[in-house]
């Protein structure tokens, strides 16, 4: 959860979808949302999951189950000049 919590806007991750699969997604923004059950603010992250603009917002208490970081080594390999 700590590593996920360090994500910045425009970072990539794999995000769990409602059918249980994971999709490659980009973090659009972070926000605090009011939790009516706990009557408190809870941090959340909104991800864009597709080119058509499908989004998913994930509350902090779900980050560990629903967000998987992309390996930095894989990103560096992908950005290497060819």
Give the separation between CA 40 and CA 33, rounded to whole angstroms. 8
**For residues 65 and 16, is the Cβ–Cβ distance under 8 A?**
yes
**Residue 59: both structure tokens together:** 């509350």
The model's pLDDT over 39-72, given as tens digits with 9 standing for 90+, comes to 889 999 999 998 898 999 999 999 999 999 987 6
Give the separation between CA 45 and CA 56, rounded to whole angstroms. 8
Q: What is the value of pTM for the model shown?
A: 0.79
| pLDDT score, position 12 | 94
The whole-number average pLDDT for the span 5-23 is 93
Lowest-confidence region among 9-13, 44-48, 78-82: 78-82
pLDDT cut 90: percent of the chain above it:
57
Instruction: Specify the higher pLDDT residue, 2 or 23.
Output: 23
Taking phi first (over 0 means left), then psi (-120 to 50 degrees means alpha), and beta for anything else, what does residue 7 get?
beta
């Amino acid at each position: 959860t700590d590593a996920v919590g360090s994500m910045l806007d425009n970072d990539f991750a794999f995000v769990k979808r409602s059918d249980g699969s994971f999709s490659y997604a980009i973090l659009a923004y972070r926000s605090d949302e009011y939790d009516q059950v706990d009557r408190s603010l809870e941090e959340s992250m909104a991800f864009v999951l597709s080119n058509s603009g499908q989004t998913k917002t994930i509350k902090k208490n779900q980050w560990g189950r629903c967000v998987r970081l992309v390996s930095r080594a894989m990103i560096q390999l992908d950005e290497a000049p060819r």
